[in-house]
Amino acid sequence: MRERELEGKIAVVTGASGGIGRLIVERLAEHGAVIAAIDKDKDELVKGIKKMQERGYPITAFPADVTDSMIVEEVISTVESKLGSIDILVNVAGVLKLDLIDDLDEADWDASFSVNATGVFCMSKIVSRQMIPRKKGSIITVSSNASHIPRIGMAAYGASKAAATMFTKCLGLELAKHNIRCNVISPGSTDTKMLRKLWSNEEGEIETIDGQSEVYRVGIPLGKIGTPSDIANSVLFFASDDASHITMHDMVVDGGATLGV
């Protein structure tokens, strides 16, 4: 990707206070994009982008719940009026609820779909309405390789991410005539707070890399945990003109953990 290729483009990033979201914001800004950073947690959002703002990056915080379509409408209208026409949307906001299906609480199931699927629906639908008249745009959904392979205890997460993946592909088919590209990035185990919550002891990283047959995980063939940078670099590619002929694609970034499925 060429340096500063995104100069002046307006990018909206949800889940901007998380490990992956925060780095995506930084990378897009480094390449010249003007960022609208969205997250439900106002304090973490402001804290997360403060140092980037101090470095001169044009990033504005917009605290918002992506599952509330009325709030999303208001925020996107404000972004367009204050920052300009949106060129890029990156759906990163997500939650992870773990439990065996027999023990899975309905509230956790609903929360998983509310954020991981409905949030993607609300943001993408409302932002794409702004993009359609301009005949350009890139929508990128950060899903998960859990949408490809079943795993013990991850029914709610995997199913909700699979819904987000298919929604984004269907959106891409509908918006292709408007020159709007819609793509998916499916990370595997990535070094974030979310992943570390899954580790019960100091052997967690080793077990993740080696695999756990009892939860149908084959391990990571490349022998390492992914980093937020791996995901951010993939977002940069889809957002750039280098991906101008790619849409409805699901890029799995998991070190081979799902064996290319």
Give the catalytic positions in this structure: 157
Q: Provide the strand spans (E) within the chain.
A: 10-14, 34-39, 59-63, 86-91, 137-142, 180-187, 250-253
DSSP 148: T
3-state secondary structure of 118: helix
Three-class HEC string of 180-209: EEEEEEEECCECCHHHHCCCCCCCHHHHHH
Would you give the DSSP letter of residue 142?
Answer: E
Half-sphere exposure of 142 (CA within 13 A, CB side): 31
- Helix 119-131, helix 155-175: angle, nearest 10: 10
Q: Determine how many CB atoms are found less than 10 A away from the CB of residue 47.
A: 13
CB 261 within 8 A of CB 221: no
Closest CA to 21 of 193, 177, 147: 193
Helices (H) and strands (E) in the chain, counts: 9, 7
Pairing outcome for strands 86-91 and 250-253: unpaired
Distance separating the N- and C-terminal Cα atoms of the chain? 27
